[in-house]
Amino acid sequence: MIGWLQGELADRWQQNNRCGLLLVCGGVGYEVQIPRRHWDQLGEAGEKTSLHVHQVIREDSWTLYGFQARHERDLFRELVAVSGVGPQMALGLLGQLSCEELVRAIVQADLRLLCKAPGVGKRTAERLSVELRTRLQERYGESLALLDPDDLAAAALDPSSTAAPVAGVREEVQLTLSALGYEALEINRALRAVAAQGDAVGGEADAWLRESLRWLSREAA
């Protein structure tokens, strides 16, 4: 199994939405698909290049996917383990967002940001968040300076912002919405959406609850 390659960049190529390079290592040329962000940063032919590699072996093909850092490759492996997410969609996510941005979007259930990646719809974005949220928080939380799970509702904002609900208000709203049958994922999304309105909501729990319910009703429509 190939896990890492180092050699000279011989060529770069693009076929539709797929981007890749030809890396010559010890006289052998390896075709490797890479995220678009990395492809845009490639240097000139002959430049020394190293890649952390994920290898997919099928009956009719061997495909290599390359990444600048090991944690990007590891995140790619987490993504493709989710039902309905294949290598091209995972590359699209990593090509659209940095590793830290992608982990934050999944942990915080930022579906709008996830759906910016090619081929990612709302249901797939929801599945990514539901299946990977806890695991990514535990795995990458410290190294990527992610917020604690209890702070997800206000994560889209500067923690010092007055637009974010204070802890007591947030807890009261979360408990009320939970009692009404809403899931934690829906509640966090609603609170982030309301927080994005800025200071207009104010600091009262009733106002946060009213605006959250209004947002949830629109989403369900």
DSSP string, 62-126: EEEEEESSHHHHHHHHHHHTSTT--HHHHHHHHHHS-HHHHHHHHHTT-HHHHTTSTT--HHHHH
Average pLDDT over residues 207-211: 87
Average pLDDT over residues 128-136: 88
What pLDDT, in 10s, does the model give residues 105-117? 898 888 889 999 9
Q: How far is CA 17 from CA 66, 119, 123, in A?
A: 16, 11, 22
Q: Is the pLDDT of residue 179 over 90?
A: no
Q: Are 15 and 63 in contact (CB under 8 A)?
A: no
- Find the angle CA(58)-CA(59)-CA(60) to the nearest 5 degrees: 95
Average pLDDT over residues 136-146: 61
Average pLDDT over residues 22-35: 95
Instruction: Report the alpha-carbon distance of residue 101 to residue 152 in Å, rounded.
Output: 14
DSSP 153: G
Give the position of tokens 């990444």. Answer: 67
What pLDDT, in 10s, does the model give residues 4-20? 999 999 999 999 889 99
What pLDDT, in 10s, does the model give residues 43-91? 889 999 999 999 999 888 899 999 999 999 999 999 999 999 999 999 9
Bridge-based pairing of strands 4-15 and 48-58 is antiparallel
Q: Is the pLDDT of residue 160 over 50?
A: no
